[in-house]
Amino acid sequence: MTDRKATLSVGDKSIELPVYSGTVGPDVIDVRSLVQEGVFTYDPGFVSTAACESKITYIDGANGVLLHRGYPIEQLAENSDYLEVCYLLLKGELPTADENRKFHDTIKNHTMLHDQMRNFFQGFRRDAHPMAIMCGVVGALSAFYHDQMDVTDAHQREITAHRLIAKMPTIAAWCYKYSIGQPFMYPRNDLSYSENFLQMMFGVPCEEYKPNPILAKAMDKIFILHADHEQNASTSTVRLAGSTGANPYACIASGIAALWGPAHGGANEAVLDMLAEIGDEKNIEKFIAKAKDKDDPFRLMGFGHRVYKNFDPRAKVMAETAHEVLSELGLENDPLLKIAQRLEKIALEDEYFVKRKLYPNVDFYSGLILKAIGIPTSMFTVIFAMSRTIGWFSHWNEMVSGDYRIGRPRQLYTGPESRDYDKK
């Protein structure tokens, strides 16, 4: 609790409101009592509203800081792997060596999908967007595990977490395989999480798939860097859906639907569209000039970030990984990648971009890596959703583990006043 108060003056009325401080970050003013005074706050997009209390992730955008359970994202990307980060987000602490081994084994034992789920894929058109398939299939998981969806039971929630973490790569890879007409590849327990995903994406039944360790490491870093990002649009959607008591699979499906929006999960796909629009290195100066012209609609995608007003801490990791992948695959001279590298150099040196802190962000580099590996742009958001599932679930689990109430945002009504029906 707190002894500090903020005073809000509304006309001739003064209302005292409690002020709380978190571990780090801005103070928050508790406005819950305002409804009793007949007053609401007005905050479109909820950009100034703390809708929950959380111990999972902290972002300091001004200083380029991203912490998962207190650990800097750079340290996790350098020293950990995705499944260990999943354990951290879910449990709150890093696992011991024994806990880590058991967790990895548990996930490996849940990667298979029920064989009847093949029928769900076959119900979609071959040219359906993979996000449409993923959204439907994840929601359908509730039809197969309806006997273990008691949200008040911690053990059942843990089993659900294991199933989602384990099955999402299988679902994601099958979305791709279905779209190109190739047979589904089953998961292999002898491979790591990222190796298994690549095997299910690019393997075929007629020959053994041998994962490239450089590419597998790059995928694992992409998974880590997209695992959670605090109370963003899709995470807030999962929390809002979960506040109704909806089953966790439906809640995760709602997060996938929110992530599908181009303003949220489609940023790295937009980067490649921009590179294709530029087309050639000789056109770069022209497009840079267009980007600097405030009256020109063209924007450089993958530069700057709504949250980070400094360098995106995830981008530093991705930049190193991108160069490793391009070198490994001998793609240093790929036309689009050459354009990207030139844009990167300009953004880091040009006074216009440096002054405005329009540095390359994580989406700029992750799109390049995924393209180099051979993953089509339609799958980019699917991989994002697969990675973010642990973040969504951790926030949902944190919410349903404590006291919560159904979400009920208010509005500023500007429609007609009450009027009588008078049919002309």
The residues annotated as belonging to the active site are 305, 363
CA distances from 324 to 215, 318, 330, 368 (A): 9, 10, 10, 12
What is the phi-psi region of residue 181: left when phi exceeds 0, alpha when psi lies from -120 to 50, beta otherwise?
A: left
CA distances from 220 to 213, 284, 308, 345 (A): 10, 32, 23, 26
How many residues are recorded in the chain? 424
- Tell me the residue type at 228: D
Sheet order of strands, 28-29 included: 5-10, 13-20, 28-29
Other residues' Cβ atoms within 10 Å of the Cβ of residue 122: 9
Sign of dihedral through CA atoms 234, 235, 239, 245?
Answer: positive
| The pair of three-digit structure tokens given for residue 248, joined into one six-digit string | 């966790």
Q: What does 177-230 look like in DSSP terms, one character per residue?
A: HHHHTPPPPPP-TTS-HHHHHHHHHH-BTTB-----HHHHHHHHHHHHHTS--S
Tell me the residue ranges of DSSP E strands in 356-421. Answer: none
| The pair of three-digit structure tokens given for residue 368, joined into one six-digit string | 């390049």
